[in-house]
Amino acid sequence: MGKLKLSDRQLYALIEAVKLGEEIKPSQQAKRKAFSKYKIEGWENSKLTGIFYSIQRRLGLIDEIIEELVGVLPLILDPWLRAALRVAVEIAVFRDPNKKTIQHLKGLAKFLSKKTHPYVGYYYYELLLRVINYIPKLDSEEKRLKWDYLFPEWFIARMKNLLGDEAEELLKSLNETLPTSIRVNRLKASVKEVKDYLLSKGPRFERSERVETIIRILDPFNPEWLFNKGWAIPQEEASAVASLVLDPKPGETVVDLAAAPGGKTAHMAELMNNKGKIYAFDVDSERIKRMKEVLKRAGVEIVEIIKADGRKAPKILGEGIADRVLLDAPCTSDGTIAKNPELRWRLREKNISKVVELQKELIKSAWRLLKPGGRLLYSTCSMLPEENEEVVRWFLGKHKDAKIIPLKGPYDPGFLEGTMRAWPHRHRTIGFFYALIEKKK
């Protein structure tokens, strides 16, 4: 590999993309907008896209370096200065730029003076020398792992606590991109029809060994046509397993307490052959809009969407009305980092307790909705025991009429007997937790 070469124009495009990435979500939209402004196309696009995503993955680490050099939190800096420093740290500290690229980095002082204020340009120029000469102090195992795998130190410590030496394998797998995963919607198509379509289009794909309707597409390919026809829905294997574990039957009454964007809701309707009733609760208008589209395309007819907090469900529907309740609880979502790389730096240890409070309130609501003999699935896409086994343990301690129905697969046992966990490094899917609880008659 030769040294990294970047022109002024390419640097401007990266800075604008990083700045826009703070305002526009998902970040790939910001990147597209900035790159088209600077006419970044073809091979140039793929080279700069790699650098842009690398900045997103390393963001927390890059910001720590900036804080060390500037002495204040990057968030209080001028937004243009912050974006330029993030790009400069990525290139000067983590890559091997050639002399010309270093000159172009220095030239950014002028670009910044024009964009915001002359002082910002001078200040950037002074800081840049410190960036170029920066050498990190990796004086602990957690720090080394943080540099190697790009996670907050507290998260690394937690995973080491759970998995010992295996933690490094987990961190590594969270940095690998998962293939596009789709679930065949049997209300509209068979697995064979979807396979035939993919064979005609040419990408390599494989069927999941654990869920017969899940197909992983191994090459770059946009399955938009399948989604538009309602033949398939984007869904990870571990997420599809949730509906299979709850196993709703045709004719039953089911409540989905945090339903949008609707992948599991649609799956349950399919398992019920579109017979019975599903009440789908969610509070987020944008996500509900997406859910309506997903359900319509999938040909689902038995869902009633209710825009309300799941904690209010017993008041709205009445108590003891449901045969099954799915509570795929809001969580820190750390199990999905392979799909959402920038999420890793938004994980805050101090936020866990707030999330757990909400989970406990929702599971209380779920229980009130359930008929005697009915079943509740409590699931999350988190790997932290506080959001999983500990919530279930707390709940079982409060409810003598609750018993765990032991899960024997397709994944590994959880840290509480009868529960189950999907691990990214062991099962090639997102991190997931499952506990199936029955209300005694």
Distance CA 232, CA 221 (A): 14
Distance CA 285, CA 13 (A): 33
More confident residue, 140 or 290: 290
Catalytic one of 91, 226, 258, 381: 381
Q: What is the pLDDT of residue 140?
A: 83
Question: What percentage of residues in the chain have a pLDDT greater than 90?
Answer: 85
The model's pTM: 0.85
Query: pLDDT-derived band of residue 244, with 50, 70 and 90 as boundaries?
Result: very high
The pLDDT of residue 342 is above 70: yes
The pLDDT of residue 1 is above 80: no
The pLDDT of residue 420 is above 90: yes
Q: How does the average pLDDT of the chain come out, rounded?
A: 94
Do the Cβ atoms of 294 and 263 come closer than 8 Å? yes
Q: What is the pLDDT of residue 66?
A: 96
Question: Any catalytic annotation for residue 331?
Answer: no
Q: What is the pLDDT of residue 36?
A: 93
The pLDDT of residue 280 is above 70: yes
Do the Cβ atoms of 260 and 290 come closer than 8 Å? yes
Question: Can you list the domains of the chain with their CATH numbers?
Answer: 8-132 (1.10.940.10), 141-174 (no CATH), 180-233 (3.30.70.1170), 238-439 (3.40.50.150)
Query: With left for phi above 0 and alpha for psi between -120 and 50, is residue 276 left, alpha or beta?
Result: left
Q: Count CB neighbours of 11 within 10 A.
A: 23
